[in-house]
Structure 1
Amino acid sequence: MKNKYQKAVQDLLAPAGIKINGNQNWDIRVKNENFYKRILKDGSVGLGESYMEGWWDCKQLDEFIYRLFNADLEKKIRKNFKLKGLILKSRLFNMQSLKKSKKSISHHYDIGNELYKEMLDPLMIYSCGYWQKTNRLSQAQENKLELICRKLKLKPGERVLDIGCGWGGFAYYAAKNYEVEVVGITISEKQKKLAMERCRDLPVEIRLQDYREIDEKFDKIVSVGMLEHVGHKNYRPFMEIVKKNLKDDGLCLLHFIGGNETKYNTDPWINKYIFPEGLIPSIMQIGKALEGTLLLEDWHNFGLYYDKTLMAWYENFREAWPKLKASYNRMFFKMWEFYLCSSAASFRAKRLNLWQLVLTKREFPDMYHSVRPKNLV
């Protein structure tokens, strides 16, 4: 006989078309009966951790989570007072109901370059690709880099600041193909080392430096996948720093994940295991940060391309696991799998977006013409 917790979870999943121990690829197979009470009590942390610990499984994890998101279960729970009482006022995927203090893990970007080399494209671009007329991850990432360079209207000899340069993929591409000088800054030792190796023969300088320490002028400024780590209290200071370091006739491009709603905390499982202290900015937060600092010239959203990018990373990760497993345990595999699939599902359900903003100072002398290349290949 089903206990009340199992029935509650079953009823919760039904509108999403998900069955417990059903036959569809997105149905979940429960292996530990404590699963039901745990996810009702602990929300997304309980869902993710119980997956990591092997309490449940699913043939197509990304589709399962997509269906959870697409059914908008959080709102349904909010209206169901009986269920709210049963789950002790915890809500699935709602960080407000969980304790703020959570154990952190090692820094996301310093868990091993080999993992990222296997998972990403040859340039190791750890952000959304631009999948125009291609099904290859490497081409999608080159498309994205080319799109950024064209939006910035790079010219030979210009000096470019790359805030949060990662493993140097953009710096390499821009310096090689557009003959610009690039200063890339990162706060990751391992990223800096690899970026320096990659850009050794190019006019590229890689620094171990925080963006708040920059005080010099640049023709162009770019930041790819960095604003998610800045935090809501620092959005405006970030824009002010860009303004201070950008020449009057310069251009800035920001490429980052954006949310549909204003929040001040991230999902608790993501915060605990993947991106401690990360935060997805909203339109309102970015708009307030721009007031009185920079002018918005162009706003481009291609969030659905992130779903495809994350699933490409997921396939690469699974294929490379036989080589990687000597350095990571099985729980790490399950954790990383849950991270990639749940992230893909978020974009597929349009809970998250991928935004590219082009910004200028008020002194910018010309009209900016938006760039939407029909063919980047």
Structure 2
Amino acid sequence: MGREAWNLDSATSQRQSKSVEVIAELLATADIQVNGSRPWDMQLHSAKVADRILAQSNLGMGEAYMEGLWDCERLDQFFERVLNAHLDKQIRPTKLIWYHLRARLLNLQSVARAWQVGEQHYDLGNDFYEAMLDPRMTYTCGYWNDAHSLQEAQEAKLELICRKLQLEPGMRVLDIGCGWGSFMGYAAERYGVKCVGATISREQARWAQQRYAHLDLEFRLQDYRELDERFDRIVSIGMFEHVGRRNHCVFMEVAERCLEDHGLFLLHTIGKNQRHSVTDPWIDRYIFPNGDLPCIGQIGDAAADLFITEDLHNFGADYDHTLMAWHANFEAAWPRFRERLGERFYRMWRYYLLSCAGAFRARDVQLWQWVFSRHGVAGGYPRIS
């Protein structure tokens, strides 16, 4: 019995050694070394990690990182190199085919499922997000064109949206997926508009109602599919990523029925480069359950016959700067949350922020702002940047 156990351990050890060799060879093509001395090199603490990467790709790699089985000083640089070398396309485990099938066959963003991301992600605690975000609690990409700080970048983004929407005092504006109300508060203060915001996060709604009690703003705990009234302008900032491909057309139909004839609708969303790809399984399980990034063609298809596209602006590279600023704030504030959230959460959140920063830096994902009208802007829509 002892000899059989030894043989089993020996076979496992040999397989793991071979797996480490395979991973090391793959990473070398991205100029990443296993147990190297550079900030982007992978520090391997267990040979099991290689098996998990080969079996489950980023799901296995992310879970192994959360468990402390490997480290990397600069995860953002690690992922930038991995994605620039397209290593994610060289490891396609058959075990993950279920993620592709369920994205195509199931409506993962149904009304019943829609509240899950609010409870799991956005309701972590307003104090936590206050420590990580800018003073307005803007949890979307900043606009760093002339900005030198996170606060400046977020204010510049909000101002850009207001100008693109051509806001005027007294207008009634709908914010689909309003978050903590940063746009609504800014637009009401600077442009004198009235706003209605819909969110699926109880914590966000509670915080926003208290913060902006002095303004003519209404925050509703409501699914977007329930909206059915007219507004002069509509905005949706960082919410379309949760809508899902099976609901893109429904979302656009809701926006069309809620927009006045001569109104404008601005859609701000992260987007992917390939139509048939699915959400990273680690991100889906631990960060944004049931998320589904759209591609540019899917948005165009959903808007067809409903809207005229007046403007399309890509500033996805700015998300890298935004995520790195969030990460710096998170690291500085972590001692306040260590006891409450624990080491596993710390490693999970660090992996989330830095892997996403690397993805935007590699231009593997994008950030688009679309401006739509129902019948076309007379004389043409002015280019605003």
Question: Please, what TM-score do these two structures have when normalized by structure 2?
Answer: 0.89
The reply on whether 1:37 has 2:51 as its aligned counterpart is: yes
Contact map agreement 1:145 1:170 (CA 8 A) in 2: yes
**Cα separation, 2, equivalents of 1:183 and 1:216:** 11
* Residues 324-349 of structure 1: per-residue CA shift (max 9 Å, x gap): 11220100000000000011111001
Superposition pairs for residues 226-245 of structure 1, below 5 Å? Answer: 226-245=239-258
Report which of the two has the higher share of helix. Answer: 2
| Structure-2 change in CA distance of 1:180 and 1:213 (3 Å) | same
Q: CA deviation at 1:365?
A: 4.2
Equivalent runs, 1:204-223 vs 2, <5 Å:
204-223=217-236
Q: Give a deviation string over 1:215-234, Cα, whole Å, max 9, x none.
A: 11100000000100000011
1:184 to partner: Cα distance? 0.8
In the TM superposition, 1:307-326 aligns within 5 A as 307-326=320-339
Give me the identity figure in percent: 48
**Structure 1: which 5+ residue stretches go unaligned?**
79-87, 373-377
Q: Does 1:122 align with 2:135?
A: yes
Q: What is the deviation of 1:42?
A: 1.5
Shift of 1:96: 4.2
Deviation at 1:143, TM superposition (A): 0.2
1:50-199 maps to which residues of 2 (within 5 A)? 50-77=64-91, 89=94, 96=100, 106-199=119-212
Checking the alignment, whether the CA contact within 8 Å between 2:82 and 2:88 is kept in structure 1 is no
Q: Label 1:256 to 1:371 Cα distance change in 2 as closer, same or farther (>3 A).
A: same
Which aligned runs of 4 or more in structure 1 are off by greater than 4 angstroms? 88-91, 93-102, 363-366
Deviation at 1:199, TM superposition (A): 1.0
Distance in 2 of aligned mates of 1:60 and 1:264: 26
Change (3 A) 1:300 1:182: same
Paired residues in the alignment total 361
Q: Distance in 2 between matches of 1:148 and 1:274?
A: 27
CA distance in 2, matches of 1:75, 1:210: 35
Aligned to 1:353: 366
Match of 2:382 among 360, 369, 373: 369
Deviation track 1:226-267 (CA, whole Å, cap 9, x = no partner) reads: 100000011111111111110011000000001100136310
Structure 2: any 5+ residue segments left out of the alignment?
1-13, 109-115
Root-mean-square deviation (CA, aligned residues, Å) is 2.3
Which region of structure 1 is more displaced relative to structure 2, 69-78 or 16-25?
69-78
1:303 aligns with 2:316: yes
Matched, 1:3 2:20: no
Which one-letter code corresponds to 1:168 in the other structure? G
Deviations 1:149-187 (A, max 9, x none): 000000000000001000011110000000000111111
> CA, structure 1 residues 264+70, in 2 after alignment: closer, same or farther (shift >3 Å)?
closer
User: Given residue 82 of structure 2, which amino acid in structure 1 is its aligned partner?
Assistant: L
Distance 1:58 1:315 in 2: 16
Q: Is the 8 A contact 2:147 2:156 kept in 1?
A: no
**SS of corresponding position for 1:167:** coil
Of residues 21, 35, 39, the one that matches 1:21 is 35
Which letter maps to 1:47? M
Q: 1:285 aligns with which of 279, 292, 298?
A: 298
Question: Is residue 340 from structure 1 mapped to residue 353 from structure 2 by the alignment?
Answer: yes
Q: Is 2:308–2:376's contact at 8 Å kept on the other side of the alignment?
A: no
TM-score under structure 1 length normalisation: 0.91
Q: Is the 8 A contact 1:90 1:98 kept in 2?
A: no
SS of residue matched to 2:144? coil
| 1:346–1:97 Cα change, 3 Å | farther
Amino acid at match of 1:37: D
Q: Helix, strand or coil: the match of 2:339?
A: coil
Deviation at 1:131, TM superposition (A): 0.7
